């Protein structure tokens, strides 16, 4: 049995799109953080087709992800299919894994709030 999932997904298909002068603006997410943060870390992540990341969690930081291609995120043992521009907010303590489809590489932008460089806890898959 896993832990309850606090993670939030904001689907790009649910975004409100407005026409502006010279561009379209899609409002993807309004995210409320549990506490004020003084720094953010931005990480470009690439996952080779058919592979997955090692399971891990963060003790203190909230991690936000922007899918740049189709991929699957598993949180607490539950898989979630993500499409480009979907946004995920993972709370501290939530284990997560990302997997690229078999037919293409996957990419995403990970944002750490706050930018704690030594907060990652690797988990055994057993």
Asked if residue 96 is part of any domain, the answer here is yes
Q: What is the DSSP letter of 38?
A: S
Query: Nearest-5° angle of CA 32, CA 74, CA 57?
Result: 65
pLDDT band at 1 (very low <50, low <70, confident <90, very high): very low
Judged on CB neighbours under 10 Å (0-12, 13-18, 19+), 64 is buried
Q: Please state, in angstroms and rounded to a whole number, the distance separating the CA atoms of residues 95 and 32.
A: 20
Residue by residue, DSSP assigns 67-100 as ESS-EEEEETTEEEEE-TT-EEEEPTT--EEEE-
**Structural contact between residues 122 and 92, judged by C-beta atoms closer than 8 angstroms:** no
Encoded tokens for 95? 């284990």
Q: What is the pLDDT of residues 9-39, one digit of tens each?
A: 999 999 999 999 999 999 898 888 777 889 9
CATH number of the domain encompassing residue 35: 2.60.120.10
Asked if residue 124 is part of any domain, the answer here is no
Asked if residue 125 is part of any domain, the answer here is no
Asked if residue 122 is part of any domain, the answer here is no
pLDDT band at 81 (very low <50, low <70, confident <90, very high): very high
Encoded tokens for 73? 């995120």
Encoded tokens for 10? 């904001």
pTM of the model: 0.86
The three-class DSSP label of residue 40 is coil
Q: How many domains does the chain have?
A: 1
Domain containing residue 15: 8-117
């Amino acid at each position: 049995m896993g832990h309850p999932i606090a993670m939030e997904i904001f689907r790009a298909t649910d975004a409100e799109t407005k026409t502006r002068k010279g561009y379209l603006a899609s409002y993807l997410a309004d995210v409320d953080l549990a506490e004020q943060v003084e720094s953010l870390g931005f990480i470009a992540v690439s996952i080779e087709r058919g592979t997955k990341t090692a399971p891990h969690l963060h003790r203190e930081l909230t991690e936000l992800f922007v899918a740049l291609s189709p991929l699957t995120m598993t949180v607490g043992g539950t898989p979630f299919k993500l499409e480009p521009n979907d946004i995920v907010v993972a709370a501290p303590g939530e284990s997560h894994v990302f997997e690229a489809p078999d037919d293409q590489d996957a990419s995403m932008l990970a944002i750490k709030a706050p930018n704690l460089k030594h907060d990652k806890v690797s988990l055994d898959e057993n």
